[in-house]
Structure 1
Amino acid sequence: MTAASDPFAGEGWLDRVHCEDALQGLRRIPDGSIDLLIADPPYGLGKDYGNDSDKLDTVEYLRWTEQWIDAALPKLKANGSLYIFLTWRYSPEIFVMLKQRMTMINEIVWDRRVPSMGGSTRRYSSVHDTIGFFARAKDYFFDLDAIRIPYDEQTKKARSRSIFIGAKWLEMGYNPKDVWSVSRLHREHKERADHPTQKPLEIVERMIKASCPPGGVVLDPFMGSGTTAVAARRCGRRFVGFELNPDYCELIRQRLVALEPASQQDEQVTG
């Protein structure tokens, strides 16, 4: 694709991270074209993302959240799903907002494995993020087998009674359940990029494998460090997303280039 061509012509909007406000760019994504929406919006905690996107007061933040939700949900297919990362401070209000538009499947607690050091002396230390899992219809896509966690050999050996022989759940592993204990990306972590709230590939890949069919399309309105794009590519899915900060757009480009030959990545991020 040349710089002069329309990045949204035909399938030109696919496999791109567009450096623009999602509220603008979402208008050009065809309705009913997305299998899975993964949203990691600003949490309303005042973090510095190189702009003022996380510096809204409560009323403004919830109003903005409703705006992007109403812009993004029509892009989902009839059996599409949504995962949204949230802080406990706003998850009750946003869950209610989403319940008026979709069916809530799970509340997932991401235990970030924060070390027990220091913390508040006036309340319990917050060491988790809240993730909402929603679907548009009862027949939403969900592939549990793709995300089962294998049992170790000792556990399999302990289940040697005849009633367990050949049991699918024993051979393939167990359901990850709704508490995900996955370490946050500390400074020395091999995945860590220069982004303050980067999410682990393990979490996003689990979402994609479970809730987006092979070859399907994942939308992320707030790409940040590009983990959703990287995870989609690694899992054999297509993607589209938006990111306001041009520095993060370049970071995403670099992460994608690291996956494949540069000749295939030249137009991954468009201005």
Structure 2
Amino acid sequence: MPIKYIPYTPNTIEGQAVLDNITRTKRVLRYRENNEVYNRLERGMPYYEVETVEQVGEPSENLIMRGECVSNCAYLKEQGIKVDLVYIDPPFASGVDYAKKVYIRRNPKLAAKIREAEKTMEMEELRTFEETMYGDIWQKEDFLNWMYENLQAIKSIMSENASIYLHLDYHIGHYVKILMDEVFGEERFLNEIIWCYSDAANSKKYWNTKHDTIFFFSKSEDYVFNYEEVLREHSEGNIKKYKYEDEKGKYRLFGKNIQGSPIQWHRDVKPEWEKTNPELVYRHYLKAGSLPLDWWTINPVNQAAHEKQDYSTQKPEELLERIIKASSNKGMVVADFFGGSGVTAKVANELGRKFIHCDVGINSIQTVRDRLVAEKASFTIKEVKDGVNLFRNPQQTMDKLATLITGLQTKVEGVSNFWLGAINDSKLGTVPVYVPDLIDSQQKLLDIPTINRIINQEIQNLSINAKKVIVYYIDIDDEKELKKFIKENNATTTDVELKDLKNLLHETVVDDELEFSITEGKGEYTVSIDKFTSDRLQQKINEFNEKRNLQAINKGKKFEPINISEEGLELIELISLDCKNSEGEWFSSTEIKIDKLGYVIYDGEKSKDFWNGKITSKEKPLRIKVRNISGDESVVVI
């Protein structure tokens, strides 16, 4: 349950356009759940307990938060934290399932053999399987209501001179532009930016889509825009063409009319000053460039391998660099509430800004954490304690739920998609089961509007005679009040049983198992990992092997299954030792990460060493944390 609800604005509704209360919106947008959006806004943002998970580097204002956009904004508002620039790249309502490729690491027991034959022995083929990160599959109305609530929450923690860039594509962007008009005001719309990118074309039936859309809004008339930081620079090739090194080692530029520019700046610069101030000359040259335009040609990430994080929705650093330079100054706070691969936080840190990275998926939190560790950044990781163990992300939890509820069958005849499925009870017959969609934060709270819909619409729409339905909830508004409402308003003979989903989830989560030994000598401690067991991962691998083997049989081919050694060390991605705290927030005194090729990254520094199954520290370790290749983390107190 939330500790309390925090208003979006001092007076939440008065003066706000809430989807259906002005004529233009009524004509353009039709939503099924207008009243629920209105009720949620009136109630405010849910404020949960927030736990500090880890401190990296020196104490700072930089934050990484695992949680949903609205609850993260509630925390920021309660703490009085304002943001100066927002970039968000939310789901696009594209109807696509996004997957993460999971790489099996090399067996460290073979590391010595590989090193001995490193030039003659061929590297074994990388073995992988995929896991769904999240499903970008929405009903249009649900997505727009969800986005509307998020935008209201984000606006509530923006400073008066802040601006926001909202990144979408053709699937839903034109609808969300109207929501942005309602939330920030049409007069605060500044640009529709077109990001053009080169990528393989795959259709001969229509024009291939090679651009995304970014909407640029400000909160007030007083906003930051540093146009000089983003003047369209001439290509590096042309700069080199008109640059040479003089006899004193100073760079000069020939006074030329570059690319047809009418400005011949050399007429304004004395040759002596040009020799002694080459950097100023260079800046003067760049100012001859064109003013920034609203279409950008920037290569996608797959054209810049040094940036790749193996994160399916990752955006290029150049894109964020342009936005952050233009719309913020050093020391300002840059926030991304759908942080994904962490490119916003990484670029903001490089440019001397403070950053706030938020995401609901544990893979996102781990990706940006490791990325920033490599950059030697300082930050705090926090987690919103909403009472639900989401495994690695909400999509995987939803996929798992159908197997966790005993006897549940999906796609039961006579039971609509509103229900997750139904249980066949020997005494009661078919019992429909409702489970809130964890991907849609609006469904987390079971309240009177939801119960009213269940008893006066969904139960009555069932084409079976259900004696009972089961309604799972994550948060509940007032259980006594809800049961009283059901008793007084349920016109059917169907019994409604309420169940707490958190109890079901907590009972099913089993940590990975770790066996290790510690030796001390020569001023350091060595932790040897003897065995690692992950039932969840092994089950995934078994499912993958069965599926691929069946496909191979159907095609008359032979399939080589993924086999894990008895020690299971191929399933480990990261090991961290805490030599400072035996409980509470984690402090990584030293850590190693094994990349997909089997090489070790020591405290963010890449190497060409193969992992040998050990980690060392100068201080006595108090706790050890192990992250498996799918992102599950287990902590053992030593």
TM-score with structure 1 length normalisation?
Answer: 0.85
2:163 is paired with a residue whose SS is strand
The answer on whether the counterparts of 2:199 and 2:210 sit within 8 Å (CA) in structure 1 is: yes
Return closer, same or farther for 1:127/1:165 CA change in 2, 3 Å cut-off.
Answer: same
Task: Write the letter of the residue equivalent to 1:44.
Answer: A
- CA gap of 1:149–1:4, structure 2 versus 1, over 3 A, is same
Bigger radius of gyration, 1 or 2? 2
- Counterpart of 2:196? 111
Deviation sequence 1:121-152 (CA, Å, 0-9, x none): 33211111111111112221111111223334
1:206 aligns with 2:317: no
Cα distance in 1 for partners of 2:151, 2:135 equals 16
Instruction: Decide whether aligned partners of structure 1 residues 193 and 6 sit closer, same or farther in structure 2, where only a CA change above 3 A counts.
Output: closer
Structure 1 residues not aligned, in runs of 5+: none
Query: 1:120 offset after TM fit, Å?
Result: 2.3
Q: Report if the CA contact (8 A) 1:79-1:135 is conserved.
A: yes
Q: Which residue does the alignment assign to 2:89?
A: 40
Show the counterpart of 1:98.
180
Which of the numbers 131, 148, 151 marks the counterpart of 2:231? 148
2:73 counterpart of 1:26: yes
Residues 239-269 of structure 1: per-residue CA shift (max 9 Å, x gap): 1121111122111111001111xxx54x543
Worse-matched range after superposition: 155-164 or 75-84:
155-164
How far the C-alpha of 1:53 sits from its partner, in A, is 5.5
Q: C-alpha separation between the residues in 2 aligned to 1:232 and 1:101?
A: 26
What SS does the aligned partner of 1:208 have?
helix
1:67 aligns with 2:149: yes
Give the equivalent residue in structure 1 for 2:40.
Answer: none
How much has 1:51 moved relative to structure 2?
4.9
Cα offset for 1:14?
Answer: 3.3
AA at the equivalent of 2:67: E
Cα distance change of structure 1 residues 59 and 17 upon mapping to structure 2, 3 Å threshold? same
Within 5 Å, give how 1:76-225 maps onto structure 2: 76-102=158-184, 103-115=188-200, 117=201, 119-151=202-234, 152-153=238-239, 157-158=256-257, 159=261, 165-166=267-268, 171-172=286-287, 173-186=289-302, 189-225=305-341
The C-alpha deviation readout for 1:179-214, integer Å capped at 9, x for no partner, is 111111117622011211101110101111110121
1:219-234 alignment, distance < 5 Å? 219-234=335-350
Secondary structure of the corresponding residue to residue 291 of structure 2: coil
Corresponding pairs, count: 259
Q: Is the 8 A contact 2:193 2:216 kept in 1?
A: yes
CA RMSD of aligned residues (A): 2.8
Residue pair 1:17, 1:223 contacting (<8 A) in 2 also? no
Structure 2 Cα separation of the partners of residues 161 and 98 of structure 1: 40
Between Structure 1 and Structure 2, which shows a larger proportion of strand residues?
Answer: 2
Structure 1 residues 183-192 or 47-56, which shifts more? 47-56
Is the Cα contact below 8 Å between 1:147 and 1:176 reproduced in 2? yes
Distance in 1 (CA, whole Å) between partners of 2:373 and 2:335 is: 20
Structure 2 partner of 1:16: 63
Residues 232/163 of structure 1: CA separation in 2 closer, same or farther (3 Å cut): closer
Query: Residues 27-60 of structure 1, C-alpha deviation per residue, up to 9 Å, x if partnerless?
Result: 0113671110110101111232645452222111
SS state of the match for residue 48, structure 1? strand
State the TM-score, normalizing by the size of structure 2. 0.38
Q: d(CA) in 2 for partners of 1:68 and 1:160?
A: 47
- Please give the per-residue CA displacement for 1:154-175, whole angstroms capped at 9, x wherever unaligned: 6961157668855988542333
Q: Tell me the CA shift for residue 13 of structure 1.
A: 8.9
Distance 1:166 1:250, change over 3 A: farther
How much does 1:78 deviate?
Answer: 1.1
Deviation of 1:104 (Å) = 1.1
Give me the whole-angstrom Cα distance separating, in 2, the residues matched to 1:182 and 1:129.
Answer: 11
Unaligned runs of 5+ in 2: 1-49, 100-131, 243-254, 270-282, 384-638
Query: For 1:164 and 1:89, how far apart are their aligned partners in 2?
Result: 49
SS class of match (1:25): helix
Q: Which runs of 4+ in 1 moved over 6 A?
A: 160-164
CA gap of 1:121–1:76, structure 2 versus 1, over 3 A, is same
Hey, what's the Cα distance between the residues in 2 that align with 1:59 and 1:13? 40
Identical residues among aligned pairs (%): 25
How far apart, in 2, do the equivalents of 1:161 and 1:229 lie? 38
Secondary structure of 2:307's aligned partner: coil
* Closer/same/farther in 2, CA of residues 160 and 220 from structure 1, 3 Å limit: closer
Compare relative contact order (CA 8 Å, sep 6+) and give the higher one, 1 or 2: 1
Compared with structure 1, are the counterparts of its residues 161 and 178 closer, same or farther at alpha carbon in structure 2 (3 Å cutoff)? Answer: closer
